[in-house]
Amino acid sequence: MAGRRHRVNAATYNEAALPNGIRSRMVDNGNGLSMHVLEAGFDDPARPVLLLLHGFPELAYSWRKVMPALADAGYRVIAPDQRGYGLTIGWSADYDDDLGPFRFLNLVRDVLGLLSAMDIESVAAVVGHDFGAFAAAHCALIRPDVFRAVALMSAPFAGPPPLKAPVNVVDIDADLAALNQPRKHYHRYYSTRDANADMWRCPQGVHDFLRAYFHYKSADWVGNQPFKLEAWSAAELAKLPTYYVMNLGEGMAATAAAEMPTADEIATCAWLPDDELNVYSDTYERNGFQGGLNWYRGRFVEAFIREQQIFSGTTIDVPACFISGSSDWGVYQTPGALEKMQQSACSDFRGCHLIDGAGHWVQQEQPGAVVRLLLAFLAQS
């Protein structure tokens, strides 16, 4: 691909990879990790803190477009590479190793340890995108004394699993496979042994795989015209694009390859030019995807779900809001979750905002709108 390459080394990012005012460093979180952290507004430790948690297949780098503006507004902004991602080390990428460190209570422990190591007692808000929204929601649910507000992006939080519900997620696999066009859910695929190699060692290479994947889930892909689904059923889920409900016989690399943008589309992609995509591809070429995939695997572990049931019946009681792209199917991929978030999971819900011109990668596609909404939310929290 054309364009200069923003390289990352084995420890931190080089200066060319980051906007002015953002620094890259490592912090021992006291929970087995040396976490790679991006910071802005770090000149004054007394500033109120914003903690930004990324999703899959993202990095702390995914927040680069909003961090300087949030710092200019008076905040100290911190974005870590979470367990399993980026330049953070101390986790295992072996599929057969203990999955326990990736359970959600331990992911919250990772964040608390990071804040403690940085001598931060509380944050003005924790902001999470995609799977990072699930982590942010648990932070606010479990430790409202530390996380004083929460902004969730692209993945609605429906609350902890109820005690009386079945422990395992609804088994939709057989019904999806029985459709006229047989399908499978991407969570199940991401939990398989083969998923990492399928994407890491794909024929098109990691860079082109990520280019197609980011394009396919963005507002640039004209097919992203989401709407509410009526039920968690195979017939309804089959209405989702194949990046969520895949063709049964294909992996994600082939799924993304079918939607590879043209050379002209790549050249005009202002929100993710090739020099910025290189930061992602360099990192994932080095590490593979297994660390991030372990988060998905945890959704199918009965013991992990039982642990989350400890919080059954509790709500997020700090101020909360939801931000996503109007072209983001993630808002609706779990039927009913958006409504439960607003009506029962959050007792002080302040607003649901869907931004035009953005798909799933809302803080990258429309950073200015995200910053405005976050600052307005923080001003009233």
Name the residue among 170, 281, 293 with its Cα closest to residue 236.
170
Contact 64, 18 (CB under 8 A): yes
What local confidence, expressed as pLDDT, does residue 171 receive? 73
What local confidence, expressed as pLDDT, does residue 164 receive? 78
Angle subtended by helix axes 131-142 and 104-117, to nearest 10? 70
Report domain 15-380's class. alpha beta
What local confidence, expressed as pLDDT, does residue 166 receive? 60
Count of CB atoms situated within 10 Å of the CB of 206:
22
What is the chain's percent helix, strand, coil content, to nearest 5?
A: 40, 15, 45
Name the residue among 330, 295, 340, 288 with its Cα closest to residue 160.
340
What local confidence, expressed as pLDDT, does residue 381 receive? 84
Phi, psi (rounded to 5 degrees) for 256:
-70, -40
What's this model's pTM, rounded to 2 decimal places?
0.95
Name the residue among 4, 9, 53 with its Cα closest to residue 283.
9
Q: What is the mean pLDDT of the chain?
A: 94
CA triple 273-366-5, angle to 5 deg: 15
What local confidence, expressed as pLDDT, does residue 370 receive? 98
Residues of the chain with pLDDT under 70: 1-12, 14-15, 165-170
Phi, psi (rounded to 5 degrees) for 364:
-95, -40
The helix (run of H) or strand (run of E) holding residue 127 is strand 125-129
